[in-house]
Chains A and B, each alone.
Chain A
Amino acid sequence: MPLKAPSKAGGRPESTAALRHPAARLRLRLAEATAVLPAADRGVFAFESFVDGLGFLEPRERARVKLAGSEIFDNLMHHAAPLRGDAVTVRASLRGERCTLAFYFKSQTFGTRLGACEDEREPLFDPERRRWRGIGLKMCRNLAFKIRYRSGAALDRIYLEFRP
């Protein structure tokens, strides 16, 4: 029985005898979606809509991508702005069991901040805003299997990898 290729827009393949083989399932879980989002105030809502539309992810996967990704997106808006073109390109892809969320942008400060990044910092109470801060990165580390940051002359990138 020939295997059907999944559409790029997502959707799970039908369950057939041929698809019950793990290798067949892995091969079929291939999909990706890309969007250019405004690097602007309230841009995180556009990111959340983007993730809500990722029909090729299971609801639980989508929730993890949404939570971790929106923390990254928020941090970019608050700490890496201004971004070239006032835009961030976001790509979500699924390869077998591995889901990757990538952010592409160009910031004047990202490289410098990356060098001084205190990634292991524990949450601290902010008396001015009357809330705890520093929780976002902790959430990202717990939600994602891996996080990679790369600063470049032409492009900065952040990759989050999720596994079941």
Chain B
Amino acid sequence: MTQLDIVERRDGDRHVVAVAGPVNSYTYTDFQEKVNKALVQHPLVVVDMEKVTTLSSAGIGVLMAALDDAEAEGKRIAILRPSEIAMLALESTGFGDRFPVYKNLRDL
């Protein structure tokens, strides 16, 4: 699988960005564009990572920057049910506790 699919939807007051496929150095710009745009328009952005097949440092770098921006602007960004490999990637950075991870939308 070499393509990143991103589908956006509304769920109450949350804007959900559902990502499927590899988030790596060749696909991260699409991911970055969608997340940053969502963050400009919505106070609560949920990144659904259930179908992420790999998550490289490029993708994690985007998430970290988005978290910084959200905090600075009084907004929120949450990571929803990351796949096992995505969770392992987040933990492997040593900043695992920096990422607000949720198993269910209702927990937000």
Contact = CB atoms under 8 A, between A and B. Distances in A.
Interface stretch (B8-16, B18-26, B71-79): B18-26
Interface of B: 2, 22, 24-26, 28, 32, 36, 53-58, 60-62, 64-65, 68, 84-85, 88-89, 91-94
A66 interface: yes
Interface in A47-97: 48, 59-60, 63-64, 66-68, 70-71, 74, 78
Given A44-B26, A131-B28, A139-B93, A67 B56 contact: yes
Contacts of B55: 67
Q: Secondary structure at chain A's binding surface: helix, strand, loop or mixed?
A: helix
Contact of B60 (A48, A132, A142, A143): A132
Contacts, number: 85
A42 B26 contact: yes
B61 A70 contact: no
A122 B105 CA distance: 33
A71 B57 contact: yes
B25 A74 contact: yes
